[in-house]
Amino acid sequence: MIRRRLAFILLAMGFACAAQAAPVRVTIKDGALEGARRDGMVTFLGIPYAAPPVGALRWMPPAAPAKWSKSRAAKAFGPSCAQITTLGPFAGPANANEDCLYLNVFAPEGARTGLPVLFWIHGGGHVDGRSDDYDPVKLVRAGLVVVTINYRLGLFGYLAHPALDGEGHLFGNYGSLDQQQALRWVKDNIASFGGDPGNVTVAGQSAGGSAASVQILSPLAKGLFHRAIFQSGGTNSTMTPLAFAQARGMKFAAAADCAKGDAAAVAACLRALPAQKILELSGTASANGPFINGLMIDGRIVPGKPIDLYRSGNYNRVPIMSGMVADEGNFNIGIAEYFSGPPRKPVTAEGFKTYAAKTYGGNAGPGGSPPAYPKGTVEAVLAHYPLKNYPTPQRAQNALMTDPLLCRARHVGRILAQRVPVYGYRFDEITAPSYFAAMPGYEPRAYHTADLQFLFAGYHGGPEGIPHPLNKAQQKLSDEMVSAWANFARSGNPNGSGDHPWPRFTGEDRTSLYLSQNIPASTALTDADFVARHQCGFWETILVY
């Protein structure tokens, strides 16, 4: 009996091992793929969704990838896109890869068909970041098919120059075009992985949220997605005007010694530049160079000023979930201190005043482009944020950096809520682990990117970030957030159904509510409380929309 029972156990173990070892294969329009199993999900990594944008395809709309005849291994991430500015430990590593237009698909093992799809766009100021750093295992366990992508960054992804722009193709926001190409790939192929091409949520954080909002604004993305999530970004109301972007592009061409000859000669010179030369002109690890634009109003991909498109209702109308963290500014403060040493230097009273003068004085407005703030703005800002009201200069600077961002998001959210369902939130968990190294006097609190680790298991920025596990209370909040994100992707409502615990944002002063995501419990936050906390009455007189 014992031998028979042992033989049965060994036989069962053999079947289990064979099942685990069995290859995971799918066939898409371009060819067959062989993936892998991990943690109850199947993964297909490094799938090309466009041809390498190199040589003659540099600064061109993405082209279709080449098909393959043999089964293609999809077990390793594709190369991350060229980048040099790493935002402290957020991103990297710095590299010169132009062949980087790859995506990844994560699906529940044994998934049925028709699952909602979450299409994730990484952040990084449109200059850095990569898909590798986002492990969606909890979202997949919640019943989603998750797609993560790489897209062109920095000068490779966002460049305007008359010699390129006059070639007759879509131009300027090449990174946005990459995202649209990847969305078309999802429409054509995601059913092979169990996903529903008729239920796609485009989502992102920071620059990824802004990238998602471009798809809301772009007529070229119509019908490619059905809901949108903006995390700490996406409520763009300002973008670089085309003329300003082209002026920067011409300065870049001159710095690269590509300003001579007719338009064809200039374009050919730019496309012949070594990738490393373009990176050298892009900036350093700690800062962008003078030629970086980010998103621009090109006239076709982004057809007009975002605030005008929102006000007119001339955008892709889908349910939207949008929110910020309570201490957005502490991330940039951390980056500045990270690069300030050795020894590293915390924010000082003088540094706070310098930040205010640099941001709200001079000739540059949001994003380094016109319009400028009017004379007297610096004095008004400093009077409204006196240092004596804060325990430390960092707390004061964090408030000054955070409040206009959240008030701008509120302003745009109220406009959007007039035409589409909007669910607003603020992430308030101030003990969230920080992946920055310990720095003197630095308080992370609910810093920009703090919420990512609650959705993506083990998130810790890029390779230089320090991972920290979530404690039991944080895991509970993580479970609640994952459930809400999955519900929204499934139904357009983070509650699944009804209006509790997450109320719909109406845009009305006296009735609008947000969800305050916090420990020990998330609660409704009134618009009045939000306005008071972030001084929105003051910022409505200052901000340029």
Given the residues 80, 131, 176, 206, the one annotated as active site = 206
Type of residue numbered 150:
N
CA 530 to chain centre: 24
For 25, left (φ over 0), alpha (ψ -120 to 50), or beta? Answer: beta
Tokens found for residue 18: 């064979």
Alpha-carbon distances of 305 from 67, 232, 311, 366, 399, rounded to whole Å: 38, 20, 10, 14, 28
Q: Is 429 one of the annotated active-site residues of the chain?
A: no
Q: Which residues contact 20 (CB under 8 A, 6 or more apart)?
A: 37
Q: Is 176 one of the annotated active-site residues of the chain?
A: no
Residue identified by tokens 């991350």 is 80
For 55, left (φ over 0), alpha (ψ -120 to 50), or beta? Answer: left
- Whole-angstrom distance, CA of residue 68 vs CA of residue 27: 11
Nearest Cα residue to 256 out of 295, 294, 298, 291: 291
Q: Are 116 and 143 in contact (CB under 8 A)?
A: yes
Q: Are 161 and 253 in contact (CB under 8 A)?
A: yes
- Whole-angstrom distance, CA of residue 331 vs CA of residue 447: 5
Given the residues 80, 98, 218, 328, the one annotated as active site = 328
Nearest Cα residue to 446 out of 533, 365, 341: 533
Alpha helix segments (H runs only) across 142-173: 154-157, 162-165
Tokens found for residue 193: 């992985």
Residues assigned a catalytic role:
206, 328
